[in-house]
Structure 1
């Protein structure tokens, strides 16, 4: 640790740092609860609006991600110049209001529009938060800090799956959107009045007021192998994570007969706790192991991805509920260790006023490709597999669209269940690519001197 870094650490407010990290985790959690509600209430939306699995995939994926991902870059550029706490606060209020509007949707089209709005609001939060954290914490702590920050989605998944499923089951799916949108407005106000704007480049030897052009940030990504190798691993892992997660509630209902409340509780434990554990392992574990060899920043996500392959297969092939849920928990744990070490590597090699843009670029790829296309791809494959398996008379899509005739209900159920099972297994191809990419990044990072 350098003398300058030690001096800055000694003058920082520990209580404020704990509050900053706690509040940003809550904000990240709020964004995730709003993001996943469509997946939790998917079975009801499918029946009430007559949706296909592909349309559900669009609502839970591309409808949210298309603006969330693409607007992240221009907002990240603004975060390099302007007050970051204000940008975060405005973003929270915006996406929370759009989440509440989702509760008023009466059709696929209106729900699509409101989901686009949620994505627009959330675009200003995560890259800006990353930039804020990098100026508040030293490089030696960043993998841990980013790992803790990445627990937000895990907390959000737990609250959203359990609370959203319970509220939707007891009071209807519209109330779930109202109930989870409103707290975000309160969080926005708290963030505005309690967060501070830290000095840019607080832990860098030279402070620069110059904001590098976007092409300079892109050049750094191309020039530094660990950047694009880590990014490729993040994107391909995200396709699997989002593609399977957004359909797990529906899968649990079709395969094991769980209602929304039961499926929500199961997914809260499986994915919420699993992602929480994975985030801690990735953050703390990589910082600890990297003291011996910096290649652990790549090796830990690589091993996690490798273990995720058999756990995914077991999760969606076992017909035993206990075996399936334990495997899902291990899958969620292993596929969520990448966040802390990945962003630590990316930020450690960039100038301070490049970091929000760099995070936005990674989230552009992760969310547009991973969350945007992952659920749509799984939903499309589910429909295709189900159509091939369907043994009833006529076309699967027409025969099995709600309301379903009693004579073909059994065939529709079998086709829908089997089709979704095969579609949930397919993303292991992406996990295999991620495994290779993270191992390649470890080689590029090289042993620290």
Structure 2
């Protein structure tokens, strides 16, 4: 697919473009490490604060997601109007401070508010990142570029779980530690405080080394003001395309975040694994399998796109959802821990094929002046389903349907059996509508 006239100007050098992707990847990794570390610390947090599974699910899911999605659209609008690099810098600083504040929270309410701050600040990153990357790469390379950026998802989770697991294992015999200025704290709190520190350094690096890319605005858009109604008009004009594309993405997010959030607790409860060992093994699975799947999905999508498949991205997503269904169901039902880990790795590899190209699919059917807002809308829908609802669905099934915290594996299996086949159906039904939208926007 050839770039349109507006994009026919010289693109930034490959070195500069890939440096941008690399820095954004580090920021995205850090954001996911900040948001997902709590999944490994469910036990200590429950004991410390005296709360149950459902309250923990609110801290992991709803507390983060409410502000993450609520601030997404305003941040997307700002990304289409102001300096995107500076928006990212402020976001990194704020979410890093909020992450450290999680370690100082005295109770459930304070921890809930700190998690909300993390969510609000992290909403600045991806709308700006998607827009900056789309202004730095021609369309035929967009899938792999965004997939490399989204590698930050499994990489951040892997780092959080792997590092967290090693730290927890090292400190397993120490329930409290003394820190300068703040006094004696439980070890789970120190992990949060430590994770907040690197963000300050990263924000400075972004401010000093990253350039704001030139916006590749179409000639008929130059000098025109950007209104709030333009993104809704674009969605309405391509209603069926976005209905099936975003609907399928939401179903995938439900299944993905169910495993990411409750997988560690499942292996601890059902398979009697130690938290430190879970962190290392689960971190390697999510990091290694997630990265491999993301890169493979980006290259496969771009390869099909270059060979005339304008629906390449949703087509790959639909196939991946089908492949992920059997291991997604079985991983929560088998009795052997090693087999469950192997099935988890296969499930993660298959679902990761979709993550980067899901964002690229939305960017490909979005005009340049709306990329920040449409990126935010994509994040909003996927996050409401994945981060906001996914963890609570598993917790609800475990606590109120099965009535036994040892049934968390059955809850994961039930979620996969419902969400993954529906994702494949929605994405497949949307292929002809997606092809029409691509043809209209790139003729």
TM-score scaled by structure 2?
Answer: 0.90
Deviation at 1:148, TM superposition (A): 1.0
Selected match of 1:213 from 208, 227, 239: 227
Where in structure 1 do 4 or more consecutive aligned residues deviate above 6 Å?
none
Alpha-carbon shift at residue 63 of structure 1 (Å): 0.6
* Aligned positions of 1:174-189 closer than 5 A: 174-189=189-204
Asked if 1 retains the 8 angstrom alpha-carbon contact of 2:168 and 2:275, the reply is yes
Which residue is equivalent to 1:306? 322
1:8 is paired with a residue whose SS is coil
What's 1:77 paired with?
A: 77
Match of 2:419 in 1: 430
1:83 Cα deviation from its structure 2 partner? 0.7
8 A Cα contact 1:168 1:175, kept in partner:
no
The answer as to 2:274 corresponding to 1:259 is: yes
Counterpart of 1:157? Answer: 157
2:244–2:426 CA contact under 8 A, matched in 1: yes
State how far apart, in whole Å, the 1-side matches of 2:340 and 2:75 are.
41
Separation of aligned partners in 1, 2:132 and 2:328? 35
Shift of 1:143: 1.0
Taking a change above 3 Å as real, the CA distance of residues 25 and 200 of structure 1, as seen in their structure-2 partners, is same
CA contact (8 A) 1:142 1:340 kept: no
User: Residue 2 and residue 264 in structure 1: after superposition, are their counterparts in 2 closer, same or farther (change >3 A)?
Assistant: closer
* Contact 1:55/1:376, CA 8 A, preserved across alignment: no
Counterpart selection for 2:399 from 355, 372, 383: 383
| SS of corresponding position for 1:198 | coil
State the match for 2:179 in structure 1: none
Question: After the TM superposition, which of the residue ranges 343-352 and 122-131 deviates more from structure 2?
Answer: 343-352
CA contact under 8 A between 1:77 and 1:356: conserved in structure 2? yes
Higher mean displacement: 333-342 or 269-278: 333-342
Any unmatched runs of 5+ in structure 1?
Answer: 388-414
Deviation of the 1:2 alpha carbon: 5.4
Superposed CA RMSD in Å reads 1.8
Instruction: State the SS of the aligned residue for 1:214.
Output: coil
SS in 2 for 1:426: helix
Q: Name the structure 2 match of 1:391.
A: none
1:165-314 correspondence to structure 2 within 5 Å: 165-171=165-171, 172-201=187-216, 204=218, 208-224=222-238, 225-292=240-307, 293-314=309-330
State the Cα deviation string for residues 267-314 of structure 1 (Å, max 9, x = none). Answer: 111112111111112111000012222232221100111111111111
Q: 1:406 corresponds to which residue?
A: none
Task: Give, in whole Å, the separation in 1 of the partners of 2:22 and 2:157.
Answer: 16
Q: Deviations over 1:160-184 (max 9, x none)?
A: 0100222234342112111211101
How far did 1:100 drift?
0.4
Q: TM-score normalized by structure 1?
A: 0.89
Q: Which runs of 5 or more residues in structure 2 are unaligned?
A: 172-186
Q: Is the CA contact 2:140–2:306 (under 8 Å) kept in the aligned structure 1?
A: no
Query: 1:290 and 1:17 mapped to 2: Cα distance?
Result: 21
Q: Matches of residues 60-75 of structure 1 in structure 2 within 5 Å?
A: 60-75=60-75
Name 2:13's counterpart in structure 1. 13
Q: Hey, what's the Cα distance between the residues in 2 that align with 1:66 and 1:161?
A: 24
C-alpha displacement of 1:129: 0.8
SS at match of 1:338: helix
- In structure 2, the partner of 1:402 is none
The alpha-carbon distance between structure 1 residues 2 and 35, as it changes in their structure 2 partners (threshold 3 A), is closer
1:396 matched to which residue of 2? none
Count residues in correspondence. 418
SS at match of 1:375: helix
Indicate how the Cα distance of structure 1 residues 313 and 3 shifts in structure 2: closer, same or farther if over 3 A, else same.
closer
1:365 Cα deviation after fit: 1.2
